[in-house]
Chain A
Amino acid sequence: MSSILATRFRRIRAKPSDTGTSRHPIRALKTRIARHFEGMLRRVPMGPDGVARVGARQIYILPTAAGMTYGAVMLVMLLGSLNYQNNLGLLFTFFLASVGVIAMHHAWLNLLGLAVQARGGPAVFAGETATFEVTLRAEGRRMRHDIHVRKAQDTPPPLFVPANDQGSLGLAVPALRRGLLRLGSITLETRHPMRLFRAWCYVDAAATTLVYPAPAAHAPEPSPDAGDNRRPHKHSGEGAEDYLGSRRYRPGDSPKHIDWKAFARERGLLVKEFGGEQGQEVWIDWSGLRATDTETRLSLMSRQILDASEAGLRFGLRLPDGTEPLAQGAAHAQRCLTRLALFHDV
């Protein structure tokens, strides 16, 4: 059955609380200043072919800690050689310094002209981690060493891209809210060849991925009838139908259904499954839920869709902006979840 959904759902971890702008005035000012400067940063724009090519003027470069040490040692060597009027010392100082300067240009060249393409991964639930696939292409004779692609905290291992070839990696981005998650700006960074300089650029990656609303822990049973009764159908003995079997615990399962005896026998967290009659038709109805705000309602509906899909029911979705007809299967569930993800309250 909807195994894709199920596995993905299992990945939901503790929901990171959405840290919005702080109310603190100084911190708010800082954020504003940071935003202002962020707006001034040069970014690599996406080309008409969906590929961003790193241009010469979009690369930033600064010495690393090792580069600072290198420079300091060069300075000492220079002063010493000048003072002792030692030409060989000067020659070697100049050689190492020139190597440093050339290395700086190599760091720059290592990013220059790199073609970047980003693609959103499969849809996830809010609170999970979305993945994006970033592909780097070295269009030319130059191979690219030690390219780090970064987004927020995620730092995958560096990429080596041979000349006229490409390499790709996955970027994990926390999906905090439902809707379309834009990858936004990613950082390409290199310390090639001697780690004396760090060259980096910001790439506007126009990739998006879909984030479904996080399913509520549990939700009322949807009404089985097609009617538009406002009251939720009172089901007799909720969740007390015939015992169908056990399956592994998935986040969001009701604690009432956990098989505690099995847990005590160290068989892991198992959940007892109960089912009503198969082939039942239900409507997952916006108006059939009693909830204070839109997001809670959507999250309840998300749970209902998952449950219905899990139970193998035929179900339909009724939202204020339209309906999804009765159907069955993973594709249908995904379609319904997409409607929820992109739902716009009017």
Chain B
Amino acid sequence: MSEKTIPIGEHAEPRQALWTSLLVMAASLPLMWHLHWQVNAFLVLIFAVRLLAVRWPSAMPGTGVRILLTFAGVANCLHGYHTLAGQDGGAALFATMITLKLLELKSKRDLRLVTILIGFLIVVQFLFDESFSMAAYLGAIALGVVALLAHLNAGFRDASARPALRVALNLSLQALPLTLVLFVLFPRLNAPLWNLGFERDAAMTGMSDTMEPGDISKLVVDGEGAFRIRFDSTPPARDQLYWRGPVLWEMDGRRWTPGTPPRDAAAGLLQAEAPIDYEIVLEPTKQRWLFALDMPVSAPEGAFVTPDLQIISHRPINALKRYRVRSALVYRTTEPSPALREFALRLPDNITPRMRALVADWKTQTDTDWQLVQRGLAFFNREAFHYTLEPPALSRNPADEFLFETRSGFCEHYASAFALLMRIGGIPSRIVLGYLGGEDNDIGGYQIVRQSDAHAWAEVLIAGRGWVRVDPTAAVDPSRIDRSSASRLLGAGASVRFDLDDASGIVRFVRGLRLLADTLDAGWQNWVLDFSSEDQLALLDRMGLGALREYGLAALMLVAISLTLAVVMLGLMRDKPAEDPLDALYARFCRKLARAGIPRLHHEGPRDYGERVASVRPDLRAPVSRFIALYLPARYGTVDAAHSLQPLKAHLQRFVPRRRPER
């Protein structure tokens, strides 16, 4: 490698090189949380070498070693991720490269390049973490980038960091209005320009589209928010808040899956009353369904309603999703086709005789389907069924074992067993997964549904009524609920499932804090993270420019940028010389007298003016001559003006000449 000649004055100063390195380290620190340990180890090694070289410059590796290290770094990333593209692999490679560049900081040009690239390092991190604290931390780093660039240009009075920091602060403050305008008005994309196909595949907490005993109880200990709801009107009662998710039709003996129910073109709602409108902000799920209250009437844009009344988005929810839905609390579904009815009666082959006997026994006691449903619910209520988050393990035939042996379980056990029993009894049934309830956040004016509110219930087909929701879990006698289990401990606050709310003072305080934090988080999400092209167009609508769509937005942005820049520039160019404080005091003195009807004449000096005032208005003689006596030596004499300022100011404050002499 040939050494480029570096112009005089462009050699990297050791101090600046150290600052640049520290800034890179600080900027990549949060990223290391998300990177492969191998990549992190390599980064730490390079950082260590870089810091050692500050003390012992001979520790800096030569060109040959640097080339070797570069190959090693790339190989390390490849080994860790098996790819250099995509979000993780790309981030790892970029972090490795910018860190390796720290070993070759020869000229200020190198320093500038690295400093500018820190900007990219910042943006990359937001793909991993979008929290407010992260944004604040990286904001400080961005300020550091500006300050470092300013310091690298120098030209300040002294070489310390302070003037550069001051310049950076000034620049940043002046840049804020423009940043806001750009953020609000810069047209967004509705769909990605390109898709690298290497999306992050991190495990997301949340619902899956199958149900197996144990699935939901894992969720219940998760205090993370699932979505937030803002009702347009009064929210419905909490026991009405069944948030509908995936619908499961098929049971293979252990597991419920959506299956492939036969198409039924006529399926839908026959009757929909008591409509309620609300807005939901859904955390990313990587899945396609959108939750809505039983029963959704219409789908938001970019989604559709399935025949079994799920709302499915066209694209997976990889980012925060905001949508508006209308639901009907009073509804009647259409009668399904015979094929579908048949499908909803299919049984797995591990139905035991005692299960059949149980249902047969019920059938003798009841006349109608609905009575059979009631009999089934009564069974869960009267028999010794227990509700617990830590049910005993079930083996080959979970439904049978649950019904006749363990008799303790969670909502999924109840829903699954109930739906099977109904099918045995000839009533078509299906399972609905979703959430139940919602915690009021009075500070934010919305409700939050947490992962711990995950729930499963059944729907049965009753002739003349369509699909009817039945929640067998709610039938369990509250006295048989295991209060000690994890639901009380791990953030699953006020689950409405059984209204287990015996909030003590501390619990209430902690919950209050949690709600406050959630409000801040919701505001951050609502106003920053989730600001989208729809919000922009809504804003445009409100300004009466909605018809112009994206073009209006672009035009509005240009106008707003120009105006903002003009205002900022006018502020910057206002460059009137600082007035001498003594002159300012004298000007104030003259103004006060002018208001009293004795303006100073242009040819008058302070002494003549004072004498004239004293002769015209003898009542003002004392204060005026006192002022002049203080002012003259400070202005023209040997008295230090700094000493006279305070008494002059005090005197002037008390000096209130009236228009008319006092009698």
Contact = CB atoms under 8 A, between A and B. Distances in A.
Contacts of B193: 79, 82-83
Nearest to B319: A85
A224 B182 CA distance: 85
Interface string A192-215: 111110000000000000000000
B178 A87 contact: no
B178 A90 contact: no
Main secondary structure of the interface of B (DSSP, over half): helix
B146 A87 contact: no
Interface in B136-169: 138-139, 142, 145-146, 149-150, 152-157, 167
A94 B573 contact: no
B112 interface: yes
Nearest to B153: A195
A79 to B, nearest CB: 7
A145 B577 CA distance: 18
B167 A193 contact: yes
A342 interface: no
Interface string A20-61: 000000000000000000000000000000000000000000
B575 A73 contact: no
Given A88-B529, A89-B123, A106-B171, A95 B142 contact: yes
Residue from A69, A73, A84, A102 whose CB has the most chain B CB atoms within 10 Å:
A102
B38 interface: no
A98 interface: yes
Contact of B119 (A90, A92, A142): A92
B119 A74 contact: yes
B575 A89 contact: no
Interface stretch (B203-211, B286-294, B459-467, B564-572): B564-572
Nearest to B164: A193
Interface in A79-111: 79-99, 101-103, 105-106, 109
Contacts of B116: 66, 69-70, 73
Contacts of A85: 188-189, 192, 319, 532
B528 interface: yes
Interface residues of B, number: 58
A6 interface: no
A73 B127 contact: no
Report whether over half of chain A's contact residues are helix, strand or loop; otherwise say mixed. Answer: helix
A115 to B, nearest CB: 13
B194 interface: yes
Given A102-B175, A145-B156, A76 B120 contact: yes
Contact of B120 (A65, A77, A103): A77
Interface in A250-280: none
A109 B528 CA distance: 33
Contacts of B404: none
A191 B153 contact: yes
B175 A101 contact: yes
A176 to B, nearest CB: 26
Nearest to A85: B319
A195 to B, nearest CB: 4
A84 B127 CA distance: 8
Contact of A94 (B109, B186, B577, B578): B186
Contacts of B112: 66, 69, 195
Given A73-B117, A146-B155, A162-B157, A88 B569 contact: no
B126 interface: yes
A146 B150 CA distance: 11
A99 B120 contact: no
Contacts of B130: 86, 88
B113 A77 contact: no
B186 A84 contact: no
Contacts of B178: 94, 98, 101-102
B70 interface: no
A312 B261 CA distance: 122
A101 B127 CA distance: 26
Contact of B135 (A83, A88, A140): A88
A160 interface: yes
A113 interface: yes
A194 B144 CA distance: 12
A74 B120 CA distance: 8
Interface of A: 65-66, 69-70, 73-74, 76-77, 79-99, 101-103, 105-106, 109, 112-113, 139-142, 145-147, 158, 160, 162, 164, 190-196
14 contacts: A65-B109, A79-B193, A80-B123, A84-B127, A85-B319, A87-B528, A91-B135, A92-B122, A95-B142, A95-B179, A96-B119, A96-B142, A142-B575, A160-B155
For the complex of A and B, list the 6 residue pairs with the smallest distance between their C-beta atoms, beginning with the closest: A146-B155, A98-B175, A98-B178, A94-B182, A195-B153, A194-B149
